[in-house]
Chains A and B, each alone.
Chain A
Amino acid sequence: MNRRKIIVAVGGVALGMTSAHGARPERMKPQIGDVLVYAFGDRIGSVIKPADVHDDRIFAFAMASDGLVRDGSLHNQLSLLRVDEIAMSKKTRRYAAGSILAVSAACTHTGCEVSGWQHETHELICPCHGSRFAVLDAAAVVLGPATKPLALLPIEQDGGVIRVTGKFSRRIGPAPTY
Chain B
Amino acid sequence: MKLLVSLWGVFTIAVLTPLWVIAAQYQPVTDARLANPEPENWLMYRGTYDSHGYSRLKRINTRNVKRLKPLWTYSTGLREGHQAPPIVNGGNMFITTPHNHLLALDAENGDLIWRYIRELPEDQVQMHPTNRGVGLYADLVFMATADCYVVALDARTGEVVWETEVEDYATGYYMTLAPLVADGKVMVGVSGGEFGIRGFVMALDAMTGSEVWKTYTIPAPGEPGSETWPGDSWKTGGVPVWITGSFDTQTGLTYWGTGNGGPWMGDTRDGDNLYATSVIALDVATGEIRGHHQYHWNDSWDWDEVSAPLLIDFEREGQTVRGLVHPGRNGYLWFLERRDNGIGFVDAQPYVNQDVFTSLDPDTGRPTYDETKKPGTGKGALFCPSHWGGKNWPPAAFSPRTRLLYIPANDNVCAYMIGEKVTYRQGREFMGTDWQESTLVLTEKASDYIGELQAWNVDTGQKVWSVTFASHNWGPVLATAGNLVFMGGTNDRYFRAFHAKTGRLLWKQRTNSGITGVPTTYEVNGKQYVAVLSGWGVDAQRETSSLAEIGKVDPVVPQGGVLWVFGLE
B101 touches A127 (CB 8 A): no
Q: Is B67 interfacial (CB-CB < 8 Å)?
A: no
CA distance A79 to B98 in the complex (A): 29
CA distance A144 to B396 in the complex (A): 32
B122 touches A6 (CB 8 A): no
Q: Is A112 interfacial (CB-CB < 8 Å)?
A: yes
Instruction: Please give, as numbers and ranges, the residues of chain A lying within 8 Å of B162 by CB-CB distance.
Output: 6-7, 10, 14
A111 touches B117 (CB 8 A): no
Q: Is A45 interfacial (CB-CB < 8 Å)?
A: no
Closest to B138 in A: A1
Instruction: Please give, as numbers and ranges, the residues of chain A lying within 8 Å of B80 by CB-CB distance.
Output: 177
Q: Is A86 interfacial (CB-CB < 8 Å)?
A: no
Q: Which of A30-38, A70-78, A92-100, A153-161 contacts B (4 or more CB under 8 A)?
A: A70-78
Q: Which of A15-23, A46-54, A60-68, A133-141 contacts B (4 or more CB under 8 A)?
A: A15-23
Q: Is B7 interfacial (CB-CB < 8 Å)?
A: yes
Instruction: Please give, as numbers and ranges, the residues of chain A lying within 8 Å of B170 by CB-CB distance.
Output: 72-73
B79 touches A177 (CB 8 A): yes
Instruction: Please give, as numbers and ranges, the residues of chain A lying within 8 Å of B79 by CB-CB distance.
Output: 177
Q: Given A116-B435, A145-B541, verify A178-B7 contact (CB < 8 Å).
A: no
Closest to A44 in B: B425
CA distance A137 to B443 in the complex (A): 39
Within 8 A of B (CB), among A94-145: 106, 110-113, 115-116, 125, 127-130, 144-145
B123 touches A125 (CB 8 A): no
B125 touches A130 (CB 8 A): no
A128 touches B541 (CB 8 A): no
Partner of A130, one of B194, B423, B431, B435: B435
Q: Given A110-B127, A116-B436, A178-B99, verify A127-B7 contact (CB < 8 Å).
A: no
Interface SS, A side: loop
B209 touches A10 (CB 8 A): yes
Q: Is B160 interfacial (CB-CB < 8 Å)?
A: yes
CA distance A18 to B126 in the complex (A): 19
Q: How large is the interface on A (under 10, 10 to 19, 20 to 34, 35 or more residues)?
A: 35 or more
B126 touches A14 (CB 8 A): no
Closest to B120 in A: A21
Q: Which of B99, B125, B147, B163 has the most CB of A within 10 A?
A: B125
- Count how many pairs of residues, one from A and one from B, have CB atoms less than 8 Å apart in the complex: 99
Q: Is A25 interfacial (CB-CB < 8 Å)?
A: no
B123 touches A73 (CB 8 A): yes
CB distance from B96 to the nearest CB of A (A): 13
B124 touches A6 (CB 8 A): no
CA distance A113 to B124 in the complex (A): 11
Q: Which of A11, A21, A40, A176 has the most CB of B within 10 A?
A: A21
CB distance from B488 to the nearest CB of A (A): 21
CA distance A112 to B435 in the complex (A): 15
Partner of B431, one of A20, A106, A127, A145: A127
B147 touches A178 (CB 8 A): no
A111 touches B125 (CB 8 A): yes
A15 touches B7 (CB 8 A): yes
B125 touches A112 (CB 8 A): yes
CA distance A20 to B209 in the complex (A): 19
Q: Mark A143-154, 1 if CB is under 8 A from B, else 0.
A: 011000000000
B125 touches A110 (CB 8 A): yes
Q: Mark B70-104, 1 if CB is under 8 A from A, else 0.
A: 00000001111000000000000000001101000
Partner of A129, one of B9, B428, B542: B542
B122 touches A75 (CB 8 A): yes
Instruction: Please give, as numbers and ranges, the residues of chain B lying within 8 Å of A111 by CB-CB distance.
Output: 123-127
CB distance from A26 to the nearest CB of B (A): 10
On A, residues with C-beta under 8 Å from B are 1, 3, 6-7, 10-11, 14-15, 17-18, 20-21, 27, 40, 72-75, 106, 110-113, 115-116, 125, 127-130, 144-145, 172-174, 176-178
**25 A-B pairs in the complex with CB atoms less than 8 angstroms apart:** A1-B207, A6-B207, A7-B160, A7-B162, A10-B162, A10-B208, A15-B8, A17-B149, A72-B170, A74-B428, A111-B125, A111-B127, A112-B125, A116-B435, A116-B436, A125-B436, A127-B431, A129-B542, A144-B545, A172-B123, A177-B80, A177-B98, A178-B77, A178-B99, A178-B117
Closest 5 CB pairs of A and B: A21-B121, A75-B123, A110-B126, A111-B125, A73-B123
Beyond known contacts A21-B119, A127-B431, A128-B429: 17 more, CB 8 A cutoff: A3-B154, A7-B159, A10-B208, A14-B160, A18-B9, A20-B168, A75-B123, A110-B129, A116-B436, A125-B436, A130-B435, A172-B122, A174-B126, A176-B122, A177-B78, A178-B77, A178-B99
